[in-house]
Chains A and B, each alone.
Chain A
Amino acid sequence: MSSQPNAQRQVYLDHSATTPVRPEVLAAMLPYFAGKFGNASSIHRWGYEAREAINDAREKVASLIGASPSEILFTSGGTEADNLAIRGVAHARRSRGNHLITSQIEHHAVLHTFEVLQKEGFEVTFLPCDKYGLIDPDDVRKAIRKDTILVSIMHGQNEVGTVEPIKEIGEIAREHGALFHSDAVQSAGKIPIDVKELNVDLLTLSSHKIYGPKGVGALYVTKGVRLTPQVTGGAHERRMRAGTENVPGIVGFGEACRLAKAELPEESARLTKLRDKLIEGLLNEIPDVVLNGHPVLRLPHNVNVSVKYLEGESILLNLDRMGVAASSGSACTSGSLEPSHVLLAMGLSHETTHGSLRFSLGMSNTEEDINYVLEILPPIVEKLRAMSPLGPGSVL
């Protein structure tokens, strides 16, 4: 998949998968590998140095989401933070109730964790969404009960970019005495987040989606909420998550959060413009293309369309050859042979799901990149459609 004989530019449009580490972030991290290598638990200069760096990073992460530094727990990433939030609450509050609420369109880190809890004996309600991928707060209100201990609904949907009404959902959870968790891996740094205003008790963050290093994330836990630790050992992270801290990673994550916060208003507006240009171009330049996700309540960097009568992988391979990186919800690209559970929950047919393409924009992208995609994609689609037995007149 490496030969790109026809690529006139390299256009990375898969920022929802991961992002490069920014130079400023890398520079901030470098001293903490060899020079300032101390263990933050140690009682000596090397230890203090590491401790101080972690404290500083904790403040920066907290500041991005309107939290206090003491409400931030560092983890190995978004997946671990989701696991800690959901299992941690479920296990700590089991005596208060046995019912949990989530949605059908959560990231697998959330979805599969709830499925395991279901096997452990918890009762889990998986709420549906509408055709735009929106969860209706009224559905939460109808599902919530006296014995509901946790509601978990994501903030920005990772595949289709729909921004969920978590403020309203959080309020409903609060009224009923349930805790509210939200996975904000895709939305943090992209749209403003204030945990107090959004009525969130627990919030998941990831570093590598916002130009920080991989292998580090955080869980915001509002003051007074107790969790059952999922990784046991030493007294790290307020005894909630044992293990010697990943100091360079945490430092990088902190710096990434600081930069994201400083640049958010401008960068979000810039990406929204590019996003809308790409969406409009795809819908206008290629016949039988439909937009997936909400047209307005949408993350600024997400474009998701279905190209009818085609399968996603065949388009991705052609795009890659032209230097363009994107992703698809097709079964053939999932690794599990199952098409996107999100698109299916939105009511798309299997065929349309197989033809889905996600372009996720980021810092490096320019208007020229968008023009390039709009120039090369139509002939790719035309060529593949000429090969496909499906089409508008197809009897299949």
Chain B
Amino acid sequence: MYNDKVMDHFFNPRNVGELENPDGVGQVGNPVCGDTMRITLKIKDNRIEDIKFRTFGCGAAIATSSMVTELVKGLTLEEALEVSNKQVAESLGGLPPQKLHCSNLAAEAVHAAIQDYYKKQGLVVSDDNGSSHDHSTHDHSVDDESSEE
């Protein structure tokens, strides 16, 4: 079902936990749907200095959370906002098709944490690539734009 890389991130997740006094906190998903991710960030000189996650969810939810923390650590905030859910799945070598929509929210959680940081700094941000769609009301039957052969 899952490839070796996904299983590696699932069984040996990177950056698990919660940072104390975080500069930004992002939480997406909804336990009703079966997935909730919480990201905490430390930001220094416009870069993600440290990042940790907590996730309630399936194997894909945990693996994508772990993967995204590796992908964005050390990036500038602008660069991190460019990282998409699709890229996270690709970095893991792909996910089963049924997991792409529901369990692939990790990048959104990072974006939400960055938005939270901007808000705390009193910065106004455009909404085009940052904020997450409302996962709590999404319809599972609506297909994702992500592609998987």
Contact = CB atoms under 8 A, between A and B. Distances in A.
Contact of B31 (A3, A317, A350): A350
Contacts of A236: none
B54 A388 contact: yes
A390 B34 CA distance: 11
B69 interface: no
A314 interface: yes
B140 interface: yes
A310 B56 contact: yes
A331 B31 CA distance: 11
A386 interface: yes
Given A317-B10, A332-B58, A388-B55, A396 B103 contact: no
A389 interface: yes
B59 A351 contact: no
A1 B2 contact: yes
A188 to B, nearest CB: 31
A337 B102 contact: yes
B36 A387 contact: no
A331 B32 CA distance: 10
Contact of B56 (A3, A349, A389): A389
Contacts of B60: 332
Interface string B98-130: 110011000000000000000000000000000
B98 A313 contact: no
A220 interface: no
A390 B31 contact: yes
Contacts of A1: 1-2, 7
B18 to A, nearest CB: 8
A137 B12 CA distance: 50
B11 A387 contact: no
Given A387-B55, A389-B54, A332 B31 contact: no
Interface in B1-60: 1-2, 7, 10-11, 13, 16, 27, 31-38, 54-60
Contacts of A23: none
A311 B34 contact: yes
A124 B131 CA distance: 45
Given A1-B1, A332-B103, A354 B34 contact: yes
Given A311-B61, A350-B32, A337 B98 contact: yes
Nearest to B57: A311
Interface in A316-333: 317-318, 321, 330-333
Contact of B62 (A314, A321, A331): A314
Nearest to A386: B16
A335 interface: yes
A350 B30 CA distance: 10
Nearest to B31: A351
Given A1-B1, A311-B58, A335-B98, A387 B31 contact: no
Nearest to B141: A337
A339 B140 CA distance: 12
A-B residue pairs, 9 tightest by C-beta: A332-B58, A313-B58, A389-B54, A389-B38, A350-B32, A388-B56, A351-B31, A354-B34, A337-B140
